[in-house]
Structure 1
Amino acid sequence: MNAMNKTKIPISIFLLIGIIAISFSAIFVRWSDAPAAVIAMYRLLMTNALMLPFLWNYRKEIARIRLRDWLRTAISGISLGLHFLFWMDSLHFTTVASSTAILTLEPIFVLLGAFLLYGHRTSRAALIAMCIAIVGAICIGWGDFQFSGKALKGDLLSLVGTIAVALHMLLGKSLREHISAFVYSFFVFLFAGLVLAITNVFTGVSFTAYPTKEWGIFLLLAIVPTVFGHYVFNWLLKYMKASSVSMTVLGEPLGSTLLAYFLLGETITTIQLLAGCLLLVGVGMFLRSNEKK
């Protein structure tokens, strides 16, 4: 996995891979009948199992990690675990389009946090581009927003999960300056998985009483949106601003909505397609304004 650091492949290719990969997350969750905390726990711990054979190669780096960085990594992992818990649970109460559209608020939280914590500033052009992209993303799910009943609960859960992942992203940007993507990702996934395991112990849900189909979904979540999605984004944090990585995640509502149309039978409107084009234009403008070559 170190080879990624030496690659000549354009960053945009990795961005595209990451966006497509995380877009499958909502689909796999909707296919599952297991509790959200169980889905998230096995998604992360199975990812750790896939990465474990390579961990020995990083033993010297792990030994050099300071206590302060271990604490920050733990907080980042806990935040990621809470994000999965709340966001996955939201999909049981609201539509894929609505839940993922709320995730588009992540760049706002990241941008604000980057300014307050690190003093990072953003150009006016980048802010305008962000607004364009967020308007497009919100329009994708606008017809599915409901301000009462189960749908409202799902939307609120998605919002809390968005705040949690923004904190995870901010901590990751700082830690990735001196910790490799592999080591950072492994322990963040581990801390997140353990938090979810503790949650499952206290709520009394079963750890094993699931059919073969569910275990297949857990594995798909580990491989596709976690390894090819979150791991890739963690790697990109060393080379891009946290706000830029967060902005690329805005492609998820469009990707998830298109996949939900083909795989779940959810409807898609002309307005949603036009909003998706607006979103992509905004993201492209933001990356052009916010990132140096």
Structure 2
Amino acid sequence: MSTPDSDAPISPLAGLGIAVLAVSTSAILVRWSAAPSLVKAFYRVLFTVALLAPVALVRHRDALATISGRDLLAAGGAGVALAAHFASWFESLNHTTVAASVTLVQSQPLFVAVGAWAVLDERVSRRTAVGIGVALAGMALMSVSDFLTAGGAPRPLLGNGLAVVGAVTAAAYVLTGRSVRSRVSLVPYVVVVYSVCAAALLVVAVGRGDPLTGYPPREWLLFLGMAVGPGVFGHTVINWALAHLESSVVSVSLLGEPVGSTILALFLLGEIPTLPTVLGGAVVLGGIYVSAS
């Protein structure tokens, strides 16, 4: 596969491993922040843009200037989809457990596989399909814990529904990235996507009347942490991997996020996973191995 940045300095699968570790911290940082959901999402993306824009302007100025109108439009669509993903998923974490929310939001491979077949004409191999099926079965098992734990979540049905909306919009984001990234280099692409995403989140947050200032230093550090960890080392690395791997492989590998987030939630938030959560996590990892190996 030839791409604008096809000389990968590291293995794409190793890059995915780094991304999974980084995005696994996202739910914890979101939970720690007391700011409104849209404000958290907005500053996460805004700070990510602030970190990457200087690199784009200094080292990728020509690539930025030569992005076609079609690719700009597609990148803009990916940015709107990403904004919808963040808005729904961050709000989901206010109503359900970390394990259930992160697990359900990563049900995106189901939608990615269908979309890749319908839109990108990608064939999903039998091995990948089996891996996705196994991983989704593990996710369903993990989700059962949300209903077995009395008082474990304030509004699990709402939270889980919002997480599924986040999965659908994340699939749209991944599929659009897969298409555009075959023609546009990583940094220019993500700067455009994140800029549109931040603008969309800002419009909605202002429309809702959420305060954008007046937060204590701890909140600003959390916003920055969301940008550096899940933003730069998570989503940006994922976009890099999309230039080298099939979108279905990238998506199913991200099913490792629920496992990582569940473990972090145990130690940092005191959320003790139930037996279905532990067993489901093991099944998810098995599905990832089958699909990506």
Q: TM-score range by the shorter chain?
A: over 0.9
User: Per-residue deviation at 1:8?
Assistant: 4.5
1:107 aligns with 2:109: yes
1:131 aligns with 2:136: no
CA distance in 1 between partners of 2:30 and 2:280 (Å)? 24
CA distance in 1 between partners of 2:74 and 2:164 (Å)? 23
Q: TM-score, normalised by structure 1?
A: 0.93
- 1:260 corresponds, among 265, 269, 278, to 265
Match of 2:217 in 1: 212
CA distance in 2 between partners of 1:194 and 1:30 (Å)? 23
- 1:97 corresponds, among 78, 90, 99, to 99
Q: What pairs with 1:174-253 in structure 2 (closer than 5 Å)?
A: 174-253=179-258
* Structure 2 unaligned residues grouped into runs of 5+: none
CA distance in 1 between partners of 2:91 and 2:104 (Å)? 14
- 1:116 corresponds, among 115, 118, 139, to 118
Match of 1:291 in 2: none
Q: How many residues align?
A: 284
* Structure 1 unaligned residues grouped into runs of 5+: 289-293
Kindly indicate whether the alpha-carbon contact (under 8 Å) linking 1:176 and 1:184 is maintained by their aligned counterparts in 2.
yes
Change (3 A) 1:67 1:8: closer
Equivalent AA in structure 1 for residue 11 of structure 2: P
User: Per-residue deviation at 1:149?
Assistant: 7.2
Query: In the TM superposition, what whole-angstrom CA distance separates every residue of 1:141-179 from its partner, at most 9, and x where no partner exists?
Result: 321148x97211111111111111100100000000010
Q: What pairs with 1:12-31 in structure 2 (closer than 5 Å)?
A: 12-31=13-32
Say what the alpha-carbon RMSD is for the aligned residues.
1.6
Q: What pairs with 1:158-173 in structure 2 (closer than 5 Å)?
A: 158-173=163-178
- 1:155 corresponds, among 154, 160, 173, to 160
* Structure 2 SS opposite 1:136: helix
Kindly indicate whether the alpha-carbon contact (under 8 Å) linking 1:104 and 1:138 is maintained by their aligned counterparts in 2.
no
CA distance in 2 between partners of 1:158 and 1:272 (Å)? 17
Deviates more, 1:190-199 or 1:148-157: 148-157
CA distance in 2 between partners of 1:76 and 1:153 (Å)? 25
Equivalent AA in structure 1 for residue 261 of structure 2: S
User: Per-residue deviation at 1:259?
Assistant: 0.4
Give the share of equivalent positions with the same residue, in percent: 38
Q: TM-score, normalised by structure 2?
A: 0.93
User: Per-residue deviation at 1:6?
Assistant: 4.0
CA distance in 2 between partners of 1:206 and 1:96 (Å)? 25
